[in-house]
Amino acid sequence: MAAVVLAAARLLRGSGSWGRSRLRFGDPAYRRFSSGGAYPNIPLSSPLPGVPKPVFATVDGQEKFETKITTLDNGLRVASQNKFGQFCTVGILINSGSRYEAKYLSGIAHFLEKLAFSSTDRFDSKDEILLALEKHGGICDCQTSRDTTMYAVSADSKGLDTVVGLLADVVLHPRLTDEEIEMTRMAVQFELEDLNMRPDPEPLLTEMLHEAAYRENTVGLHRFCPAENIGKMDREVLHSYLRNYYTPDRMVLAGVGVEHAQLVECARKYLLGTCPAWGAGAPVHVDRSVAQYTGGIVKLERDMSNVSLGPTPFPELTHIMIGLESCSFLEGDFIPFAVLNMMMGGGGSFSAGGPGKGMFTRLYLNVLNRHHWMYNATSYHHSYEDTGLLCIHASADPRQVREMVEIITREFVLMAGTVDVVELERAKTQLMSMLMMNLEARPVIFEDVGRQVLATRSRKLPHELCTLIRECGSRVGGLRPASPSPWCAAPAFCPLTHGPCSPSRLNTDSAGTCVEHVARACCTCKGSSPQGGSVPGVGGLPA
């Protein structure tokens, strides 16, 4: 004890602890761990002499990992891309979704999404599935869109055989017990209630826009299960749908961070020659309809006076979304539309700014910065295998709906004008940056591989997409779509009003007049040939 006290006294003696610390670290015994002052004049940007030069991954190093694709005897495609790391993401993507429900109860795909990773022939409950994945540090998820259903697992690469076997069991051998179906009914009901009470109206507006743009066909069918259909869902209805759409020729087994030969071996082991729970047999009712764009109005008024965000009352706003038909992701105009969407940009008026936030996009410069009463103005582009939608979402006070619609209409009209070269290059650079940054994440690479192979049976690598983006607008009319006629069709218009609102605040006649203005403005620009010193049209996309 005395020795400890003596050591403490020596440490505190003299010019204080800071001075003693300086002397102590100036001791030769400590200086051997520092540079010793040998490099005081070398800037941080220069390498130190005598230090081995580090080896960094090159920009195009990832391109060496090309996507490999194999088709099994039953038509199932296996696609993989190697990636550095000990973890992998593997999943099954199915050409299935709400657009194929014309002959079925609407909402089946949504219902199946909530039933995913429940009990199967090999696993008695969802808990057993999660425990099996935990042994390999894995997590699972299922997502359904209008045209694709995706079952995915991220886990250690050493557990690939277990993961593929589990995925095959979940997709092809679900038990669909009465108890699970009843629990799913409650989950779907809760999600519908949450959707209608959510502060962010974008998911609901997107649903309304598709319903208006494609009246009762393909991508215009409800993505969410309607409340009146929840009680009608049973095992027989689900099996009828699964029998027609969960077939090997409509599936892709995709993996990132795995060896292709090993993935193909697992696919043959678990997905080849397997009889699903709904029985074998050729599909009978497969909907191969092509999307028919119609345009139109879908209006919704809801009273949000009883909803609050804590002590702050729910803002009484009117949200609108105006959309026009664009193109499918299989067409050559897909890249120009992606650049156009990036150039329109936008966001919320209370969004924090900064590099990469799109503060120089058209909807910021021309809308949010000039009209203080606008709460939001954002551009979106939805694309499918046979159609697409370019739309703008805007929010403002209900008393200024007409002005808001006129402002958004003007932005559609200006798309047919000229675009500054700097503006175009900024949009292209931002699009390439977003593409490359997103593709650094393994789950994003998995989804990109799976969706491209499912739709086109091949995959364009990131550097190929960047080349197409750079070439966009490099020639006169390079951003002009090959077929501008769809832009003269009737627009889709969706007003959504929050707050205790009366029909007079946003009646059908007013909405119809707004749509008429949009249609007239769009067709005015048909066949226009913008002139000026800038790159033609945004390019010249006829609004």
Contact of 392 with 374, CB cutoff 8 Å: no
Cα of 226 vs its chain's centroid, Å? 23
Q: What angle separates helix 160-172 from helix 126-134, to the nearest 10 degrees?
A: 160
Give me the mean pLDDT over the 407-416 stretch: 93
Which positions ≥6 away from 437 have C-beta within 8 Å? none
pLDDT at 489 over 80: no
Tell me what pLDDT residue 184 has: 97
Q: Is 412 helix (H, G, I), strand (E, B) or coil?
A: helix
DSSP string, 202-235: HHHHHHHHHHHHSTTSGGGS-SSPPGGGGGG--H
* Sign of the torsion angle spanned by Cα atoms 149, 153, 157, 162: negative
Q: Which residues share a beta bridge with 301? A: 497
| CATH 3.30.830.10 domain locations along the chain | 65-271, 296-524
Q: Which of 21-25, 404-408, 442-446 has the lowest mean pLDDT?
A: 21-25
Question: Rounded to 5 degrees, what angle do the CA atoms 152, 157, 158 make?
Answer: 125
Structure tokens at 284: 């009978």
Contact of 147 with 99, CB cutoff 8 Å: yes
Confidence of residue 474 (pLDDT cuts 50, 70, 90): low
Kindly indicate whether the domain formed by 296-524 is annotated with CATH number 3.30.830.10: yes
Higher-confidence residue of 60 and 473: namely 473
pLDDT at 476 over 50: no
Contact of 307 with 314, CB cutoff 8 Å: yes
Confidence of residue 516 (pLDDT cuts 50, 70, 90): low
Give me the mean pLDDT over the 435-455 stretch: 96
d(CA 484, CA 171): 42
Encode pLDDT of 325-337 as tens digits: 999 999 999 999 9
Tell me what pLDDT residue 183 has: 97
Q: Closest Cα to residue 511, out of 500, 520, 503? A: 503
Confidence of residue 283 (pLDDT cuts 50, 70, 90): confident
DSSP string, 260-302: HHHHHHHHHHHHSSPPPTT-----S----PPP----EE--EEE
Write down the residue that tokens 């749509």 correspond to: 515
Confidence of residue 198 (pLDDT cuts 50, 70, 90): confident
pLDDT at 394 over 70: yes
Q: Where is 433: in which H helix or E strand?
A: helix 421-438
Q: Where is 42: in which H helix or E strand?
A: none
Residue 301 identity (one-letter amino acid): E
Pairing state of beta strands 346-348 and 318-325?
unpaired
Higher-confidence residue of 502 and 423: namely 423
d(CA 271, CA 503): 55
Structure tokens at 503: 């029909």
pLDDT at 82 over 70: yes
Q: Closest Cα to residue 255, out of 264, 246, 247? A: 264
Confidence of residue 508 (pLDDT cuts 50, 70, 90): very low
DSSP 8-state symbol, 320:
E
Q: Where are the beta strands (DSSP E) in 6-135?
A: 68-71, 77-81, 87-94
Tell me what pLDDT residue 9 has: 56
Structure tokens at 218: 């393909």
Q: Which of 42-46, 66-70, 191-195, 407-411 has the lowest mean pLDDT?
A: 42-46
Q: Closest Cα to residue 484, out of 430, 445, 528? A: 528
d(CA 514, CA 403): 10
pLDDT at 181 over 50: yes
Tell me what pLDDT residue 349 has: 74
Question: Rounded to 5 degrees, what angle do the CA atoms 495, 207, 361 make?
Answer: 70
d(CA 237, CA 119): 18
3-class SS letters over 118-145: CCECCCCCHHHHHHHHHCCCCEEEEEEC
DSSP 8-state symbol, 364:
I
Tell me what pLDDT residue 486 has: 52
Tell me what pLDDT residue 480 has: 53
Contact of 50 with 242, CB cutoff 8 Å: no
* Cα 370 to Cα 32, 344, 373, 397, 407, distances in angstroms: 63, 15, 9, 16, 10
Q: Where is 37: in which H helix or E strand?
A: none
Tell me what pLDDT residue 523 has: 57
Q: Closest Cα to residue 454, out of 196, 169, 95? A: 95
User: Which range scores top for mean pLDDT: 257-261, 469-473, 531-535?
Assistant: 257-261
Higher-confidence residue of 423 and 47: namely 423
Kindly indicate whether the domain formed by 65-271 is annotated with CATH number 3.30.830.10: yes
The chain-wide mean pLDDT, for the chain, equals: 84
This prediction has a pTM of: 0.82
